[in-house]
A and B are shown apart, each in its own frame.
Chain A
Amino acid sequence: AQSVTQLDSHVSVSEGTPVLLRCNYSSSYSPSLFWYVQHPNKGLQLLLKYTSAATLVKGINGFEAEFKKSETSFHLTKPSAHMSDAAEYFCVVSDENTGGFKTIFGAGTRLFVKA
């Protein structure tokens, strides 16, 4: 069975410092992994996705994530946080299962950016 765990419910960083949002997953097959961002009172926006190509994936707004199969992780990083990065971030796994596939979201990590 597939699942996704976001290890931190809240992360707080200072503007200009690195961001690390952690995600672990479990999957019986070869999953596709995504990160979405949701700004307050806005819809969900795709940041990046991994689909069995390069393990280091670059996304929008300077974010990137590395797929590590041995660690079953897909952590999201950014070298330098900006105030506009304050939002909620969701790690997502999409995987084949009996009769089809399904897409599961993590519980989310709220990122706070301090001036």
Chain B
Amino acid sequence: SQTIHQWPATLVQPVGSPLSLECTVEGTSNPNLYWYRQAAGRGLQLLFYSVGIGQISSEVPQNLSASRPQDRQFILSSKKLLLSDSGFYLCAWNGQPSTEAFFGQGTRLTVV
């Protein structure tokens, strides 16, 4: 069966520090991978998605970047965090447009 792992669960980082959130998927190949940010009243905002290794699409301009070095690995990064980067980040995958999306447990990021 497929599983998705996302870590860390919580993170407190100072302003200006770097960020790396990692997500891996098991039990499937060539998944679509996503990074969302969830904020009250804004739903799940799509930040990045990837249809394959090295293929990253950015949905909103921001201080973050994403990479997909392997088929089932998706990384969210920042060189210098801003206070506004605080939030709840979710990694997800699906296999086809018609299939359910599966989510990691999420990372609560607090930038101080």
Choose among B57, B97, B103 the residue that contacts A94 (Cβ–Cβ < 8 A).
B97
Find out whether the CB atom of B98 lies under 8 angstroms from the CB atom of A103.
no
Find out whether the CB atom of B32 lies under 8 angstroms from the CB atom of A90.
no
- Known A-B contacts A31-B97, A43-B103, A94-B97; the reply to A102 vs B42 at CB < 8 A is no
**Size bin of chain B's contact surface:** 20 to 34
**Inside 8 A of A94's CB, which chain B residues have their CB?**
94, 97-98, 101
Distance in angstroms between the alpha carbons of A44 and B101 in the assembled complex:
9
How far, in Å, is A32 (CB) from chain B's closest CB? 4
Find out whether the CB atom of A92 lies under 8 angstroms from the CB atom of B46.
no
Among A44, A95, A101: residue with most chain B CB under 10 A? A44
Distance in angstroms between the alpha carbons of A10 and B59 in the assembled complex:
26
Q: Tell me how many residues of A have a C-beta within 8 Å of chain B.
A: 26
How would residues 9 to 52 of chain A score, 1 for a CB under 8 Å from any chain B CB and 0 otherwise? 10000000000000000000001101000000001101001011
**Inside 8 A of B92's CB, which chain A residues have their CB?**
103
Find out whether the CB atom of A92 lies under 8 angstroms from the CB atom of B98.
no
Find out whether the CB atom of A9 lies under 8 angstroms from the CB atom of B41.
yes
- Known A-B contacts A43-B103, A44-B103; the reply to A101 vs B97 at CB < 8 A is yes
Distance in angstroms between the alpha carbons of A94 and B96 in the assembled complex:
9
Q: Does A107 contact B (CB under 8 A)?
A: yes
**Inside 8 A of B57's CB, which chain A residues have their CB?**
102
Q: Does A66 contact B (CB under 8 A)?
A: no
- Known A-B contacts A9-B41, A90-B44, A108-B43; the reply to A103 vs B51 at CB < 8 A is no
**Inside 8 A of B42's CB, which chain A residues have their CB?**
107-108
Find out whether the CB atom of A106 lies under 8 angstroms from the CB atom of B100.
no
Residue of B nearest to A4 (CB): B43
